[in-house]
Every structure is written in structure tokens, then in C-alpha cells.
Structure 1
Amino acid sequence: MKVIIVDDDSLVISALETIVESAGHDVVATGKDGTEAIELFREHHPDVLMMDIRMKEMNGIEASKKIIEAHGAANILLVTTFKDEEYISEALSLGVKGYLLKDNYKGIVPAINAVASGNMVFDSEIVQSFNKQEIKSNIGFEELTNRELEILELVAEGMSNKEISETLFISEGTVRNYISTMLSKLHLSTRTQLVVMYYKHGK
């Protein structure tokens, strides 16, 4: 698995590199800011991009936005010391696949593996820090049909549209339509927000 690590602290990069490589993954490049992250992603097309948020030239949120716009399938894992709700909200709206705190060393490798497999990962402390009232205002699971709830559970398990279609014997287009309908009903904008809402209020 190819991994890129971007952080403005060389000691953090060294520590993360050691953890990632000890798990048998290849760190193909490292960078110190969002601008470098964009160039490195374009050059290497990694399986996972691990990136800090607060960096001088361009922060991780802005870099994530540009990378996802250019490479829709980008697997970005934000690894940071900040659990500020504003950052979390922005990351969710962009479609970032994971948000992990740096002190969660044991969670780094499992998070990389999960994100590379198409799953979404959020540090338990991150989930607990979401503005409960803000998300609660969007709760409307009673508006979902049984079929929509069934698909929502599979989305929350990290299944892709293709995997869901094969499991339920329906087309990928039908799965996409169901997900779009759920997002509309729940006043959400991304698949990631749907998963977070499910685990926080619906599971």
C-alpha cells in the first residue's frame, strides 16, 4: 500500500513513517504543507494520504478540498492534534475519509487500512465532540423507508455502492438514488455525514 505523509513537524513525520512502515506499508513521499500535498498526490496517486490540518503554506482542509475536487476517489486521513468542531465540520463536508488524533498511536494503522478499503474512520473523541444539537436538528430516521434504512446500515459498514448493489441484488444506480434521497430527507450533503449521524444517533 502506498502512503503519503504530510505534516509541518519533521519529528511527527518520522514517527508516523515508522509506524506506517512497521505495518508493511510503503511511505512513498512526505511533505510539509498543503501545497506539497497536492503535488505529491498528483505525482504518486497514493492509496492513502495522511495529513495534518494546521500548516503554514496551505492547511490540510484547503488541500483536501483541492485534492478531492481533482481526484474524487482520494482517500484522505487527517491526523491532527485538533478536535475543533469547525475543522471537523469542514472535513465532513468535503468528504474526507478519516479524522484521527495524533496521540491515538494504536489507531493509526487500523485507520489507514480502513480508509484504503473505502471505509470511513473517526476517532472516538472526535465523534463525541460533534455538536450534538446541530446534528440532532437533522435527525429524521422516521422519514426513511425500510429499504433506505437497510441501505444506510450497509453504507455505515463501509460498503461501496457496488458492494451494496451486489448484496441487495439491485443496480448501482438504484443505490445512488436511495443515498441521494436519504441525504435530502436528512438535510445532509455527504456520505460521511450520513455515516456519522447513523453511528451517533441511529445505531
Structure 2
Amino acid sequence: MKILIVDDDPIVAQSLATILSAETDIEVAGIGASGEEAVRLFTELAPDILLMDIRMPGGSGLEAAEEILAAHDRARIVFLTTFSDDEYIVRALQMGARGYLIKQDIAQIAPALRSVMAGVCVLEGQVMERSTIMAPTQAVTHQRNTIFARLTDREYEVVEAVAQGLDNAQVAERLFMSEGTVRNHISTVLAKTGLRNRTQVAVAWYRSELPN
């Protein structure tokens, strides 16, 4: 498989290239350092997978992904992230990214890329079916991760809607409740789970759907 690596840190980019090039089934087709370069190199090199940092100067990874996916809707894009990037992850998944990998988990990257080539998505190196990521409202509520175990069924429905990227008004319309009730449910969810905001709730939901 041909991989394009884009990261504004040249040490990270070169280290990834060296490690991945050692794999017999991986060819590093090119290296870029910005979102603008990602768009240009993707068009020039037609890689099987674009492995890209989310936050970069000269055009973020998210902006580059939007442009690439608009022109190549089947493009396989996997984001590199750190634990502090939660606010970007949900948007990345919803736009059609095939997943995200933690930069520090080097050993997980090559196996994760093979999974992506096989047609599935990966979150933090763990395989998740693409249909599960893109349709959170179809989740089976009785298979709850421990972090959501204390929620009522109604609270969990709110979590699923939030994970789909709905705002309070849209959640209220979908679940036939007032916006005030939605806000109350979200406050209760945060209190019960110890999460800080709705973005962390959404990311935790995606992670809860990973197979054990």
C-alpha cells in the first residue's frame, strides 16, 4: 500500500516514514508538512492512505481532508492526534475520515493502516466498523461502556444524538423534548461520567462502541 505522510513536525514525519518503510507491504510515497501540501501531494501521488496530523500551520488537516474528500469521496484519510485533540476527533470522523491514531502508539500504526485498507475504521489503533461510526443512532444501547453504565435510557439517547453531532435544538426535535430538558440531561450525563463537555461525551461514545 502507498502511504502519504503529512505532519508539520519533520522529526515525526521522518520517523514515521522510516518505521513504515521497514514494513514489506508499505511504501511511503511522499512526505508533506501542511494541509496545502497534503491536498497537492494527494492529487499528485494518489496514495492508498493519507496519514495526516490534525493541527498544522498552512492549512489544518481537517481543512485539507474536507477539500480532498470533496474531490475524492473514497479517499482513505487517517488522522494523527494527541490526547488533547478530542475537540477535533468527532468532526474528523463525521466528515468521512477512516479513523485516528495516537502519535505515541507507534507500534499500532502499521496494523491499523492494514485494517483501513481492509475496509474498516480504526480509533486509537482498534478496529471499528465504518457503519458504526457513521450511524451512532443505530447503536445497541444495552452494550454500554462502563463510563455510560449509570445513565438512564433517555440520557443515553441524548448521548447518541450528541455523538451524531446534533446541537441542543436538533436533539430536542429528534427526541421530542424541550431544549431545557436536553440541557438538563447533558448536565446529568457530565456529572455521572466525569466528562467535561459534549465533545468529550461524543468521543467517549465512539470509543465505547469499540469491540472489547
TM range (shorter): 0.5 to 0.7
- Unaligned runs of 5+ residues in structure 2 are 129-134, 142-159, 166-203
Alignment match, 1:22: 22
| 3-state SS of paired residue (1:69) | helix
State the alpha-carbon separation in 2 of the partners of residues 103 and 18 from structure 1.
15
Partner residue, 1:35: 36
Instruction: Count how many residue pairs are aligned between Structure 1 and Structure 2.
Output: 145
Q: Does 1:200 align with 2:201?
A: no
Equivalent AA in structure 1 for residue 76 of structure 2:
N
| Equivalent position SS for 2:4 | strand
Partner AA of 1:5 in structure 2 = I
Quick one: structure 1 residues 202 and 40, their matched pair in 2 at CA, closer, same or farther if it must change by over 3 Å?
A: closer
Match of 1:99 in 2: 100
Deviations along 1:33-53, one digit per CA (max 9) or x if unpaired, are: 000100111111111111001
Percent of matched pairs sharing the same residue: 39
Q: Which amino acid aligns with 1:46?
A: P
Deviation at 1:83, TM superposition (A): 4.0
Which residue pairs with 2:7 in the alignment? 7
How far apart, in 2, do the equivalents of 1:61 and 1:100 lie?
15
Q: TM-score, length-normalised on structure 2?
A: 0.61
Change (3 A) 1:198 1:45: same
| More helix as a share of residues | 1
Where 2:40 maps in the other structure, the secondary structure is: helix
Residues 31 and 37 in structure 1, CA contact (< 8 A), matched pair in contact too: yes
Runs of at least 5 residues in structure 1 that lack an aligned partner in the other structure: 128-134, 143-185, 190-195
Aligned to 1:76: 77
Report if aligned partners of 2:100, 2:125 keep a CA contact under 8 Å in 1. no
- Going from structure 1 to structure 2, the CA distance change for 1:140 and 1:37 (only over 3 Å counts) comes to closer
Return the index of the structure with the highest Cα Rg.
2
Task: Give how far 1:141 is off.
Answer: 3.6
Root-mean-square deviation (CA, aligned residues, Å) is 2.9
**Partner of residue 60, structure 1:** 61
